[in-house]
Structure 1
């Protein structure tokens, strides 16, 4: 089996979900990172399947689309629940979190609401729904007592919103405890501390960065 190679930008972005999954599960991988808007990225953009990243090169395949990559890794590494019902629940949770990210993305690119609207209304309304969904299963994670692939997108998005407003998780105790639990996982803690110290940008634009 070849070592997977993740192609993405030198930011957190959508590629961060994949990195977190690899790191937390001690899966060896390599990275090829590009500076956003750089000439180097412009030169290879058209060679990508849809002209975008993340792209994961693994076992002779070239995979694109974040959800596709995450679900592929979930099936491959037993991170997709224990049955079809759990896999479908994780899929639903994953897509729900991605919907919230799109609202944040619109704000970052000046296509949607103001910061006050996002922090005080839009994101809390979405977190309320996610908290209720999270609480439908017992355990420390979305399903049970071990992370599955959707836990990595949930953690990263909660961390992004925590950067926007340090108090945004206070009214959502289950999600707040989950965020803290993920942050302190042995394989993640050192990486996350270094990420914060290095001030890795969340986005390709300054708005909302660390």
Structure 2
């Protein structure tokens, strides 16, 4: 892991170190430049990692700016607001084709529409993808609330029920992905929940078969597999 002092961060895609002031002065770039992802330095935890997974799978080259999440974050957040990169002061933020995108699920939906991929093809399929994404959002709220000290109720009741509910949806179309053999943006958030729960020891010891099959298939996607390997090589697969 590259330790990033509070006053600066790094572009992990290139492994180039830059000062915070230099990066903030160049982030509002032209529409022709490559996308820029802004997120916190949390290893591979959190909402920003979902966007990284998606961009890598889609083969989209991007700059990955990570900010220290310590006593300096309040000042950094204010700077990002002043630059017009975030209204709420929160990240992730994705600069994409001259547009500033916020909120990780809407970011994925926007990219899916732009790429004409990673979504349902019918209104019913789109509903399924949206519904499962909303179930994930409910999980994310509980996960964050239990991040420091997970309750027995969260570990032993909530998470097993969450994955059982997901199994219902993943079993309906033969798997391994939510819509069968086509990956959608919802698959990326569900994988992240599995990975986050694993890292915080809140993942159930036994998962439904449909979820196990999904996880194996997702990790076998060529670009995802390459990205996960790069995380291990960079020692950031926390």
TM > 0.5 fold call: yes
Q: Distance in 2 between matches of 1:42 and 1:98?
A: 23
Contact 1:170 1:176 in 2 (8 A): no
Which residue is 1:181 aligned to? 217
Does 2:81 match 1:81? no
Contact 2:197 / 2:203 at 8 angstroms: preserved in 1?
A: no
Give 1:96's match in structure 2, choosing from 110, 135, 149.
135
SS in 2 for 1:71: helix
Instruction: Figure out how many residues of one structure are paired with residues of the other and give that number.
Output: 199
Q: List 4+ stretches of structure 1 deviating above 6 A.
A: none
1:28 to 54, 58, 61: 61
Secondary structure of 1:91's aligned partner: helix
Partner of 2:153: 117
Provide TM-score, normalisation by structure 2: 0.76
Paired with 2:146 and 2:202, the residues of 1 have a C-alpha distance of 18
Shift of 1:117: 2.7
**Runs of 5+ unmatched residues, structure 2:** 1-31
Alignment of 1:190-209 (within 5 A): 190-196=226-232, 198-200=234-236
Return the index of the structure with the highest Cα Rg. 2
Whole-angstrom CA distance in 2 between matches of 1:199 and 1:104: 24
* Residue 204 of structure 2 corresponds to residue 144 of structure 1: no
Task: Tell me how far 1:199 sits from its aligned partner.
Answer: 4.6
C-alpha spacing 1:137/1:199, structure 2 compared with 1 (3 Å): same
In 2, distance between residues paired with 1:74 and 1:26?
13
Correspondent of 2:197 among 135, 152, 161: 161
1:5 alignment partner, one of 36, 53, 61: 36
Scaled by the length of structure 1, the TM-score of the pair is 0.85
Question: Over aligned residue pairs, what C-alpha RMSD do you find?
Answer: 2.2
Cα shift readout 1:91-140 (whole Å, capped 9, x = no counterpart): 11111012112111100145xx52x3322211001111111122122232
Within 1, Cα distance between the matches of 2:35 and 2:234? 24
Q: Which runs of 5+ in 1 are unaligned?
A: 202-209
Q: What are the within-5 Å matches in structure 2 for residues 119-138 of structure 1? A: 119-138=155-174
